[in-house]
Amino acid sequence: MVAFDVPDVEYTRYSNRQLAAIPLAVLALALVVLAGWYVVTGAPVTPGIAFTGGSEIQIVTDDSQAAIEDAFATEPESVRAVRGEGSYIVTFQSTDTDAIRASADQAGYEVESIQGTSATFGSRTQQLGLLGLGAAFVGMALLVFAMFRTFIPSVAVVLSAFSDMVIPLALMNVFGIKLSLGTVAALLMLIGYSVDSDILLNNHILRRRGDFYESTYRAMRTGVTMTLTSLSAMAVMAIVSTYFDIPLLPEIGTVLVFGLAADLMNTYLMNVSLLRWYKYEGVAR
């Protein structure tokens, strides 16, 4: 594992409200983005064709993207060039693959592959994906409460994990990343990443001997190194897979980068503030 130099943060200079203000403000802004997106589009995050239904065709042509868009009777949703292959992947909301193939043949395009997903199947896939995501989050929350058996430390872990999922979802809207099976998998992975760093912090502070700040710094040296190592790996994966046009991996890597960056903020600002309040004020009351 790569070793990162983690500087000691002077937590004593900041109140609990000051530490929690930034992550809570970012979380509130993310919720506003999701709510606004829902009002405008009818969904908090734009779903991809795997969830809405649609078609995808890969063609070989020397035409420009604008010419390709004009060649089809059905307006394409997107046209993406495949690097190094001289081909394009064109997606449609329509599931009429016969009409799409006919338009491609009429334009003189060589069709390498074509596939469609019905709206009914896509809707069921979306329900299963969201159900799995919700079940994983609820299972994580129950496990955390069973481990710590105290309200505030458990809430700190669950709130951090919730924020680690909400912030990437909002950023997906900002950067035009659609909800797909790949991004759902990335969100599931974020639950695990978030729980790892938060449980590490809670264990050091609540179950090991030593001063609060000493325990926090020990947890940070391990936790920040783990998170930054994972973040660096995901960033490299996103960049390389984008360059070579590898499907799904760019979206997975980008969402994980968003979530891991949010996890650093949530764990070592919001979670620390809640644990400090619990240890020095909450228990006393």
> What does the pLDDT look like over 65-75, one tens digit per residue?
889 989 998 88
> What does the pLDDT look like over 159-209, one tens digit per residue?
999 999 999 999 999 999 999 989 999 999 999 999 999 999 999 998 877
> What does the pLDDT look like over 244-265, one tens digit per residue?
888 889 999 999 999 999 999 9
Ordered by where they begin, the domains of the chain are: 11-48+120-282 (1.20.1640.10), 54-117 (3.30.70.100)
Q: What is the pLDDT of residue 283?
A: 52
**Of 106 and 247, which is predicted with more confidence?**
106
Residue 95: phi and psi, rounded to 5, are -105, 10
**CB 257, CB 189: distance < 8 Å:** no
Per-residue pLDDT at 285 exceeds 90: no
Per-residue pLDDT at 50 exceeds 80: yes
Neighbours of 63 (CB within 10 A): 16
Q: What is the pLDDT of residue 284?
A: 42
**Cα 206 to Cα 150: distance, rounded to the nearest angstrom:** 11
- At 48 the three-state DSSP class reads coil
Neighbours of 78 (CB within 10 A): 15
**CB 22, CB 265: distance < 8 Å:** yes
> What does the pLDDT look like over 15-25, one tens digit per residue?
999 999 999 99
SS3 helix, strand, coil % of the chain, rounded to 5? 70, 10, 20
**Considering the chain, what percentage of its residues have pLDDT values greater than 90?**
65
